[in-house]
Chains A and B, each alone.
Chain A
């Protein structure tokens, strides 16, 4: 009897898995490892040392940055919770007019870049802001937006949609019987909320909060625009990087490691807390919304609509400002299209570059995320599990850190092939890849594997089955993933600031530079274009996504 010994027959998907792992090693693991190792090397002698960390943890300049980062991160997250949780509760448990409008606006807030809202707040409450001047005119000096409180305000109003949307989903899934039981056992409505409902949605709230916290730590634009001497680790990392140009970016890297460590610790802590809190419940008794009356009804409506109005206000101000008549950097009263005219003279390349880089990156993301999702969902191998895990990493690594890693890997002694344009496309690709993978993966999980097997069984090659059967079936997920990665790629600021040069300026960078130069009209017009493209993508996501809200969080 002929015996055949176990052989590994590498099929099409084995080669794909190997290629994906190779790409992730080069674009993700290598830069992060470089950052990690550089932090432990003495820049002058080249020997291993802990000196860099000792310097960061002892010198006031860095120590204050660390404290500031944790301070605005924690309070910004707290603010987002205080806004997001009540809003979620009101919209799920009470009948509120315009509920869809509220979620839509929350999603728009979620996807619009934070630096735009930071700069809009300057126009409202900066030293020469509309509101500041209005109160100044009647003799009241109100505090300006600059400093920690401004950053916390922007973070709270910017990041609350994460908490809101996640808590809303969780609240919709709480079995009403639990709340009925609590009421039946003698709880007042408030006790019931605190003792039963809130603990049940705690996993969702804490996941939303962790996202807020990680994004706040990583955010560069807001503290850079509103900080005025109030420095956080991300702004410190960028200035350190700039002052170390020419040598190894040791201090920038060390600060970067601190940022990653904070995100990691926060995530691990949240996972530990959540570990023992898994509440499975069958959805036999769906929660119902009750109709309030009188002042309670008015108050709930006022709060819910007021919050999203306030959060949308910066975008509205930006669009409004873009149509003001300007002469150079000065607003001269009345309306005009001078700001848009200036775009055509000063920044057509920024628009061109932004769209070009984002579209190329998104094209690669779309193809790659389809393949990655297939490997993650269908292949039960260690490599697939590793890829699944690696897809979380770009969320945790701040843009500044990733960019510094890219510079250290691809700039030193590399051929000119890795010019700024290539680096930008590569960094957009790797940082926004998880958005595409997340969306296609959740689509693919709903497709029965037997469909692909049937195709192969009927004679299609693995690639043929993927293209003819899998891709058409997960097409909506692919489109949503592409749009989400496009939105986040075109609004990218922090890593672009490190990698760009004169020929590769993008819209976010141009806005940032214009704001620092006081060119508010130009910044407003460019921001409006960014907001419009973002809004168009959000509209398209609504058309394609099966569940509008879950596509964004």
Chain B
């Protein structure tokens, strides 16, 4: 158990900036997830903490002591690898014992700890198996056991579930979380799977372009994304242009008034974000006159696809902006012919606004 403090961390490959000015603070016992698309720098950051990459600048402390100058083998952070990295020539027992032997722990004690940790990851029966006799999921459990048995100050996980098939991934996900909670071990977890990140983490840190976009609880990340990138990367989102009409901010596509407090500078355009699941589809008369807390956007239906539990409705607004809505399957809506007219209705409290650029901040 230890807290991690990273300040001003930078990593350059020649002229390419892989990490720029990363500063994060992870309280002891936190499950901290680095989330982002490939190439965003999340793995580079994790490997820099592990000591496999050397930072170009910046400091890393664990429990208040600086570690960025230490070679990888003296950092006391244990890593679980995407490709398991279970030593193929060693048995499960010897794999798990590897780190303990490096720490010169007495043989008897090693045997006890190995058996104990294998019970924790439910591999007790497999002590004397060789890795090639294990399934992918079991190998990753060995990888996890091998990492936690040395009681590292920090556990690092580099997309540990991404090589497993979908069902197993979900099972192992909750098991990982349970073990992490039981041990109370500070964990830094890298993934590109947002569902995984939201389901497991105490804190999700969304990265893009080598910088941190937002670090917050899963709920905050989803409900209050701090910029347009986070809003579009985590969950799905529609973006609509916002214009200024007679001093009032309105959606350009329909003229609906959206908010009184948006900046009205035309040189600094704003977009409105609405999540597909917040949209309800209505047919017939303009419903907006009924409720003041809701806006309704007239659209032309382009495609309705029924995917079982829910349906996805693709439509375009009158000025050609594409919109997607997701909702419980409704036979009336599914029966709508292509190019028919409908209304997309959203409660105004569910609208968010961002500056209109790739990383445009929340307004």
Interface residues of A (CB under 8 A from B): 1-6, 9, 11, 448, 450-451, 453-462, 464-465, 469, 472-473
Contact = CB atoms under 8 A, between A and B. Distances in A.
Contacts of B98: 455, 458, 460
Given A454-B87, A456-B73, A457-B73, 13 more contacts: A3-B58, A4-B68, A9-B71, A448-B83, A450-B83, A451-B87, A453-B50, A454-B85, A454-B146, A455-B98, A458-B146, A458-B147, A465-B73
A142 to B, nearest CB: 60
B56 interface: yes
Contacts of A3: 8, 57-59
Interface of B: 7-8, 50-52, 54-59, 68-69, 71-75, 77-79, 81-83, 85, 87-89, 98-99, 102-103, 143, 146-147, 150
A6 B88 CA distance: 36
Contact of B99 (A6, A9, A11, A459): A459
A469 B102 CA distance: 13
B89 A464 contact: no
Which of A2, A459, A469 has the most chain B CB within a 10 Å cutoff? A459
A120 to B, nearest CB: 45
A4 B102 contact: no
Contacts of A6: 54, 56-57
A453 B71 contact: no
A448 B85 contact: yes
A2 B85 contact: no
Contact of A457 (B56, B77, B88, B103): B77
3 A-B pairs with least C-beta separation: A458-B99, A459-B102, A450-B85
A456 B150 contact: no
Contacts of A455: 87, 98
Contacts, number: 84
Contacts of B59: 1-4
Contacts of B83: 448, 450
A456 B51 CA distance: 10
A224 to B, nearest CB: 48
A41 B32 CA distance: 70
A550 B56 CA distance: 43
Given A1-B8, A451-B85, A454-B81, A460 B102 contact: yes
Contacts of B103: 459
A456 B72 contact: yes
Contacts of A464: 73, 102
B50 A457 contact: yes
Given A1-B7, A4-B58, A4-B59, A472 B89 contact: yes
Contacts of A2: 7, 59
A364 to B, nearest CB: 26
8 contacts: A3-B59, A4-B58, A9-B69, A451-B85, A456-B51, A456-B73, A457-B79, A458-B150
Contacts of B52: 453, 456
A457 B158 CA distance: 13
A11, A448, A453 — which one has the most chain B CB atoms within 10 A of its CB? A453
A183 B279 CA distance: 60
B148 to A, nearest CB: 11
B215 to A, nearest CB: 18
A469 B87 contact: yes
A152 B194 CA distance: 69
B99 A4 contact: no
Contact of B78 (A448, A450, A458): A458
A457 B50 CA distance: 7
Contacts of B58: 3-4
Contacts of B72: 453, 456-457
A457 B155 CA distance: 11
A453 B146 CA distance: 13
A457 B78 contact: yes
B55 to A, nearest CB: 8
A451 B146 CA distance: 13
Contact of A454 (B74, B77, B79): B79
A170 to B, nearest CB: 30
A469 B94 CA distance: 12
B134 to A, nearest CB: 16
A313 B348 CA distance: 93
A336 B55 CA distance: 74
Nearest to A461: B73
A55 to B, nearest CB: 50
Contacts of A472: 89
A460 B87 CA distance: 13
A448 B58 CA distance: 30
A50 B150 CA distance: 69
B69 A4 contact: yes
A453 B99 contact: no
Nearest to B88: A473
A9 B72 CA distance: 12
Contacts of A456: 51-52, 72-73
A450 B82 CA distance: 9
A461 B101 CA distance: 12
A42 B69 CA distance: 56
A552 B146 CA distance: 39
B51 to A, nearest CB: 8
B57 A5 contact: yes
Contacts of B79: 453-454, 457
Nearest to B77: A457
- Residue among B68, B85, B103 facing the most chain A CB atoms (10 A cut-off): B85
Contacts of B69: 4, 9
A469 B8 CA distance: 35
Contacts of B89: 472-473
A462 to B, nearest CB: 7
A454 B156 CA distance: 11
Given A9-B54, A473-B89, A453 B81 contact: yes
Q: Residue among A1, A5, A9, A451 with the most chain B CB within 10 A?
A: A451
Contacts of A459: 73-74, 99, 102-103, 150
A460 B83 CA distance: 20
B138 to A, nearest CB: 17
A3 B55 CA distance: 11
A150 B50 CA distance: 64
A86 to B, nearest CB: 41
A16 to B, nearest CB: 15
B130 to A, nearest CB: 13
A300 B310 CA distance: 67
A528 B250 CA distance: 96
Nearest to A465: B73
A263 B254 CA distance: 77
B85 A4 contact: no
Nearest to A457: B79
Most chain-B Cβ atoms within 10 A of its Cβ — which of A5, A458, A465?
A: A458
Which of A450, A457, A461: most chain B Cβ within 10 A? A457
A181 B79 CA distance: 51
B237 to A, nearest CB: 35
